[in-house]
Structures are given as C-alpha cells and as structure tokens.
Structure 1
Amino acid sequence: MTTENQPANAVKTANNKKRNTVLAGITVLFIAAGAAYAVYYQAVLSKIQETDNAYVGGNLVNLSSQVTGTVTEIRADDTQMVQAGAPLVTLDAADADVALAQADAKLGAAVRRQRQRYADVGQYGATVALRQLELKSAEDDLARRLPLAADHTISSEEVAHARQAVNNARAAVAVAMKQEQAAQASVAGVDVSHHPDVLAAKADYQAAWLAARRNTIVAPVSGYIARRAVQVGARATPGTALLSIVPLDQLWVDANFKESELRNIRVGQPATVEADMYGNKVEFHGKVVGLSAGTGSAFSLLPAQNASGNWIKVVQRLPVRIALDTAELRAHPLRIGLSTTVKVDISKTDGPVLGAAMPQQPVYQTAALSQPLQQATTAADTIITRNLH
C-alpha cells in the first residue's frame, strides 16, 4: 500500500511546489506593483492637488438705464453676441427732448437776467451822480439862506427847511451808493457768460443734453447677452437691471479645495483644468492667482453659528482662483457655472500664499459709456452767445 501511495505523494508534492511558486510570484507582483505605485505617488501624485469641486466663473455685467424712460426698442436677445458700444435698448425720447428745450430756455433767461443786472449797475451809478447833484444844490441853497437869516431877512423856519433838505439829500446819496454797491457785488469780477447763475444754468443744460443722449443704452463691454429681463413698453428706471452681458474671454475657475489640501498651494503654481463639457479631450492650462479671504460658509447668507451646544465639525472649503489661457478659451469656449476638474502642480512651494497687491492700471475698464461732453459745452456756449446780443 505504501508503494501505491508514493506516486500520489510525489504528484501532490509537485503541485504544492507549483502552487507555492505561483503564490510567491503573485506576492512578488503585488509587492512590485505597490513599490511602483509608491514611487509613482511620491514622484507624481504627491505633487498634484486635485479637486472636482470646481466651477467656471466670470464677469456678469448687468446693464441698467441711467435715466428714466419707456422702452421702445430692444436690439439684442439672449445668446447673441454684442460689441462694446453697440446700442441695445432705446427709450422714448419725448420727455428728454422737452427737458432739453426747457434747459435751453432757462439758460437763455439766465443770460438775459444777468445782462439786466449789469445794466442796472450803470443805472445805479447815474442815480448816485443825480443824488450828489441834488445834495450840492441843497447845500448851496442853505449857504445862500444862512446870511439872510442872520439879517432877519428870511425866517428861521425857511432855514430849517433848507437844512432838512440837505439832510434828505445826504440820505438819498447814501441810499443810492448802497444800491450801487449791492448791484456791483452781484456782478463784480466776472462777465455775463461766466457769472455763477449763468454757469449753473449751463450745467443744467449739459445735464439735460446728456440725459437726452442716454436714452440709447449701449453695451459697456463685448460679450454674449444673458438673462434679458427688459420688455418693450416697460418703464426703465436707473439701477434696474435690464439684461446681462457675459464676456466669455474673461473667465476663470474657482476650485474649492478642502482646508486640509491648502497646505502646499501657492500663488503662481501651474494648473490644468478639464471641463465636463469637453471631457478629457480638451485640457485647459492656467495658474493660481489667489486664494479667497474666507471660506464659502463664512460668506454665505446665513453663516454657521458654531457656538451652539450641538456642534459637528464640517470640513471647510476655500475657493482658489485659477486664471485660464485666453487663447485656449477662444478655441474652446466655456460658460459660467460649468463643472470642471482642477489639478494644481504643488511641486514648487516657494510662491506667496497671499495674493498680490492691486495693480496700478485698472483691471477692467470701458470707454463705451463716455459721452462727448465738449459737444454739450459748445451747444451751451452757442445759446449764451445768442442771448448776449
């Protein structure tokens, strides 16, 4: 029986050796894979900070009217591209035209009033000269009567009347001189066209002129129309949003990293962004430009009150701003609010933690809303000249 079991034992021994060899190989393979992953993690993954809690952000420029008026025209709608300075909404110009005509008339009336005041100065001067002649005549008359009164040729009552006439003439001269000084005080040092009253009326005319031009509401920036709320016939008032314009060349990504992931994130570190809209076929390149000054919960409408009795620690997230390459944005446009996955290369940590100081030049600006004020000034000067003659 022992002889019969020897071949079976030999086979079993051979199988055990084979199994042990396979298990050893698998063990070595797992160890090698673990070592390779450890090397890969240390060399690559540990240098990358990744989050999929990231969304595209951008400027949402709200367009509103600077004057009150009724909407008569809307020249652009949602999803349409507009250029800076393009007219988008037109208001009824009747009220503005009437206000401009009133300002025209008031400016002309102000000039004519000042012309009259300047003329009154000369009239008061002539009145002073007349009152001085009357005083001289009264003094001469009193001088003639005094010797006669001494000889009792005339009565003392006549002398008293002559004295009273001199006093009245002196008072009249004083009143006339005060009136002349008051008239001169209102016009001294300036001509009619530069008198404060005329300049105030001129400013009112310029304001009315600008209001008339602002009945046409233009796009302050180039971009795409979004959230149009204005309707034809609606009453537009200053400050009420009519529509929004999104400049798709001024987009960024706000990546919300956990507070435990921010240790090695620095300003200036390169980052790659994958948008769910394009998948892994398109990769955007950018860099970290700053970290928010507070977490999302701290800036929420109702911040958490952690001083309550029932407290549960929640991992906070801090928005990290990623600037995107404008050329890549032109090739593959994004939209505000799209989901993305952000990977930040944290291999170099020599950059600053806080953002840079504000630049000397404006970050954003527009010349589309500027008005040719010189034209209004020229029109007002024409009105002044017309009423001076």
Structure 2
Amino acid sequence: MSATESAAHQQDNDSGMAAKDPAKRRRTLLIVASVFIAAGAAWVLLWIFVFSTREKTDNAYVGGNQVAISAQVSGTVVAILADDTQRVEAGQILVKLDSTDADVRLHQVSSALAQAVRQVRQQTESASSADAQVANARVDLKKAQADLKRRLPLIAEQAEAPENVQHLRDAVDQAQAALNSAEAQAAAAHASIEGTEITNNPAVEQARANFRAAWVASQRNAILAPVTGYVAQRSVQLGHSVQPGQQLMTVLPLHDLWVDANFKENQLRHIRVGQPTTIVSDLYGSGVTYHGKVIGLGAGTGSVFSLLPAQNATGNWIKVVQRVPVRIALDDKELDKHPLRVGLSTEVTVDITDDSGPVMAPVNNGKPVAQTDVYEQMASKADAEAEKIIQANLGQRSAN
C-alpha cells in the first residue's frame, strides 16, 4: 500500500470514531444522570420514610440512683461487711459500730420504762385506796348525822343534856371535814391517772418514747442497706470514728436505670413524652438493643445548670448550639438480661412519627420515686420491745 492510500485509510477511521463519540457520550451522560436521579430519589424516600421520623444522638449516658450510705449515730467502726462491686440486699448490714455506749443507755431507759409502769400502778392503787377512804368518811358522816337526828327530839322533852347534843353536832362537823379531806386526797390521787390506762399514761408514754429512741439508736450501730444494689466508692475503714451524716460508701441499684440523652435544641421540635425509643450501648454494641420511652424533657439546658454558667451578655459572644437532657426509661426485663452500669455511653434513637403527645411531663400522681421500709421495720421492732417491758411490769391484776 502506498503512502497516499495509508493516509486516506487513516482519515476514514478517524471520521468513523468521531461519528460514534457523540452517541457514546450521550449514553454515558444519560447513565450518570440516571444514577444521580435514582440516588436523589432514594435519598428523598429515605428522608421521608426514615430520617424524618426519628431523632438520633450519641450524646447519651446511662443514669441511676446513687444511694449514699452514711452513719446515723457516732461510733467506732468494728466491722465492714460489704466491699466494692459486691451485691447487697435491702436490710443487709453493711457496717457495724461499737455498741457499748448505746447498750448502756438502752439498759438505763429500759429500767426507767419499767419503773414508770410500776409508779403508775402504785398511783392507781393509791387512787383506789383514796376512794375507799372517801367511802368510809361518808359512812361516818351518815352515822354521826343519824345519831344527831335521834337525839334532837329528846332535847325538847329535856330527856337529853344539851352538852351531849352539842357533842353530836361537833361529831357531824368532824365527819364532814373528814369527808372533805378524803375527797380532796382522792381527787389529787386521780389527777395523775384520770382518763388514762397504765399503758397510755403520760409518764409511761414518755418513758416509752425514751426507750424507743435509745433502742433505735442502738440498732443504728448496725448500718443497713436501704436498697438492693451494688457497692461502690467504699471509703470506710476499720477503726474509723464516724459521725452522723458521714458518707461511708455508695449503693447503686442497677435494676432501675434510665438514659439521659442530650439532644440539640433544634432536634426537640417533634420530641414528645411517651414516644418509643431504641438504645444501643457501647458496652454490648449493635447486637443488643434496648427499648424504652421518653418520660420527660429537662427544664433547662445543660449549660444553665453547669458549675460555671455561660455569660452570654459579655462583649465577645459566639453562638453555641445548646443541648437539653431528655430522660428515657428502660425496660427492667431487658436490664436483667443485659445489665448496664451508671455512666455508660449509649446511642439513642427516638421515633417521632407520632408527635401528638405532651411536650412536658404531667404532674406527679403522688407515687414515690423511690422508697424503702427498712427503717419502718426498725421502729416497729422498737415498739414491740417496749410493749414487752410494759406487759412484764403491769402485774397480774392489771394485765387481766
């Protein structure tokens, strides 16, 4: 092939490729545009059906009650019965204090209670004796009046000496005075016992109250766990001299926990009380999902309640998006299967599809947030011990 023919053939090939390039370019652009349109449509559908129906944050942490264990009476630590990480039951003894002084005081008030019961018994018997004296004085008065009445007719007949009649009148006056004295003594005897029984006499009640206080104080030398939970932050040591109110350790009940999710202020527009939530903890990862619900929104932003609140009225001001804590209740059954700890990080997703609920939590219905009956049991036992002492000193006739 000559050079001229080769050049002509190359020119024909270039013309054919040039004719094909616009069609190929159009197909390529069409494919790329279709991909972008499909991606945009998928994003719009994803936003409408997924992202617009939920609010999500990873600024969320597990919260719980931290029950501080402190001494209620002063004393020296002689035994520590629980340590960090150990589980304790409500009513279990955690720390024991030296009870020598409390035992001495308890014996004193126990004797005082018994003595008070016996004194009131004696006052009751004295009142009964005074009543008997009043009855005798009335009999003597009636007898003297009867003697005088029989002798008065004899004076008119001059059958009785005037001196004897005068003696009879004096006897009536003396009997009347004796009756008045006996009635006054009876009233005085009844003043301390009238309107009460031995068991509810003011003196006995006062002694009972002193015994109850001393008995409770003696029992408080054994420091109890008010709730079931796990021990943390134990600071007490053997031999420590503790004072009332001094914190010794902390008990964390891990059964009743919640999550505080700190949403940005522009995420709160559709969050309502009662909305369902899903929680994933960093501890277990996405393999474990907790289910809860919104129970309340904070009354202020976190910066307001910080140790050093922001001073936005200063000259150099930079707007910072604020966060508000949203409290989320967890399912206790799920917590039992997969326990959490206070302070763990979580990721919270709130389903905001239904935003017709209240923005703020309703008024508390009076149900306690937390309560314990450990100390009520202590008081009832004190009353039972006091009743035993009273019954033991009532005597056979009073008990019957």
Which residue does 2:212 correspond to in 1?
A: 206
Residue pairs, 1:91-130, within 5 angstroms: 91-115=97-121, 117-118=123-124
- Quick one: distance in 1 between partners of 2:320 and 2:42? 35
For residue 57 of structure 2, the aligned residue among 51, 54, 65 is 51
Whole-Å separation in 1 of the counterparts to 2:392 and 2:287: 71
Is 1:332 the counterpart of 2:321 in the alignment? no
TM-superposed CA distance for 1:337, in Å, is: 0.7
1:371 is paired with a residue of what secondary structure? helix
Alignment length (residue pairs): 374
- Post-superposition offset of 1:56: 0.7
CA apart distance, 1:179: 6.7
One of 254, 261, 265 as aligned partner of 2:267: 261
Q: Does residue 11 in structure 1 map to residue 20 in structure 2?
A: no
Kindly indicate whether the alpha-carbon contact (under 8 Å) linking 1:298 and 1:304 is maintained by their aligned counterparts in 2.
yes
For the residue of structure 1 that corresponds to 2:374, the secondary structure is coil
Residues 1:279 and 2:291 are matched in the alignment = no
Measure, in 2, the Cα distance between the counterparts of 1:129 and 1:29.
119
What is the match of residue 298 of structure 2?
A: 292
1:303 aligns with 2:309: yes
> Which is further off, 10-19 or 204-213?
10-19
Paired residue for 1:76? 82
Confirm or deny: 8 A CA contact 1:60 1:245 kept in the other structure. yes
**For 1:278 and 1:126, how far apart are their aligned partners in 2?**
86
Q: Does 1:27 align with 2:37?
A: no
Q: Deviations over 1:87-119 (max 9, x none)?
A: 221221212211110111222333344455556
324-333 or 176-185: bigger deviation: 176-185
1:243 aligns with 2:249: yes
Query: Structure 1, residues 276-316: CA drift from partner, whole Å, max 9, x if none?
Result: 12222222221112212222222233433434444433222
Greater Cα offset, 378-387 or 175-184: 175-184
Distance 1:377 1:47, change over 3 A: closer
Give 1:75 deviation, angstroms.
Answer: 1.4
- Rate the CA distance shift 1:229–1:20 in 2: closer, same or farther, 3 A: same
Q: Does the 8 A contact of 1:51 with 1:255 survive in 2?
A: yes
Give the drift of 1:186.
2.8
* C-alpha deviation, 1:39, in angstroms: 1.3
Distance 1:353 1:39 in 2: 28
What secondary structure is seen at the aligned counterpart in 1 of 2:376? Answer: coil
Unaligned stretches of 5+ residues in structure 1: 134-169
Q: Normalised by the size of structure 2, how large is the TM-score?
A: 0.78
Which segment is superposed worse, 105-114 or 263-272? 105-114
TM-score w.r.t. the length of structure 1 is: 0.80
Q: Is the contact between residue 82 and residue 219 of structure 1 (CA under 8 Å) also seen in structure 2? A: yes
For residues 327 and 192 of structure 1, the distance between their equivalents in structure 2, rounded to whole angstroms, comes to 54
Q: Distance in 2 between matches of 1:228 and 1:209?
A: 27
Give per-residue Cα distances to partners, 1:328-347, cap 9 Å, x unaligned: 22222111111111111111
Q: Tell me whether 247-256 or 122-131 shows the greater mean CA deviation.
A: 122-131
> CA offset at residue 7 of structure 1?
3.1
> For 2:341, what is the secondary structure of its paired residue?
coil
Gaps of 5+ in 2: 141-175, 396-400
Greater Cα offset, 314-323 or 108-117: 108-117
C-alpha contact 1:266 1:349 (8 A) present in aligned 2: yes
* 1:132-165 alpha-carbon deviations (Å, 9 max, x no partner): 99xxxxxxxxxxxxxxxxxxxxxxxxxxxxxxxx
Report the Cα distance in structure 2 between the residues aligned to 1:173 and 1:37, rounded to whole angstroms: 110
Partners of 2:125 and 2:220 lie apart in 1 by 39
How far residue 129 of structure 1 moved from its aligned partner, in angstroms, is 11
- Quote how far apart the aligned CAs of 1:261 are: 0.7
What is the CA–CA distance in structure 2 between the aligned matches of 1:295 and 1:110, rounded to whole Å?
Answer: 61
- Superposed CA deviations along residues 70-95 of structure 1, whole A, max 9, x for unmatched, are 22111111111222222221221212
State the alpha-carbon separation in 1 of the partners of residues 308 and 179 from structure 2: 78
Counterpart CA distance in 2 for 1:79 and 1:20 is 70
- Deviations 1:178-227 (Å, cap 9, x if unpaired)? 67655542332234443201210011112222222232222222221111
CA distance in structure 1 between the aligned counterparts of 2:56 and 2:391, rounded to whole angstroms: 71
Cα distance, 1:283–1:172 mapped onto 2, change above 3 Å: same
| RMSD of aligned Cα (Å) | 4.0
Contact 1:210 1:371 in 2 (8 A): no
Q: Following the alignment from structure 2 to structure 1, what is the Cα–Cα distance between the partners of residues 383 and 284?
A: 54
Aligned-partner Cα distance in 1 for 2:196–2:118: 15
Return closer, same or farther for 1:224/1:384 CA change in 2, 3 Å cut-off.
Answer: closer
Q: What percentage of aligned pairs have identical amino acids? A: 50
After TM superposition, give the deviation of residue 385 of structure 1 in Å: 4.6
Residue pair 1:89, 1:217 contacting (<8 A) in 2 also: yes
How far the C-alpha of 1:327 sits from its partner, in A, is 2.2
Instruction: Tell me the CA shift for residue 323 of structure 1.
Output: 1.4
Between the aligned partners of 2:45 and 2:388, the Cα distance in structure 1 is 83
Three-state SS of the structure 1 residue aligned to 2:280 is: strand
Measure how far apart 1:228 and its partner are.
1.2
Aligned to 1:190: 196
Q: How has the CA–CA distance of structure 1 residues 31 and 379 changed in structure 2, closer, same or farther, with 3 Å as cutoff? A: closer
* SS in structure 2 at match of 1:370: helix
Amino acid at match of 1:357: V
- Residue 219 of structure 1 is matched in structure 2 by 225
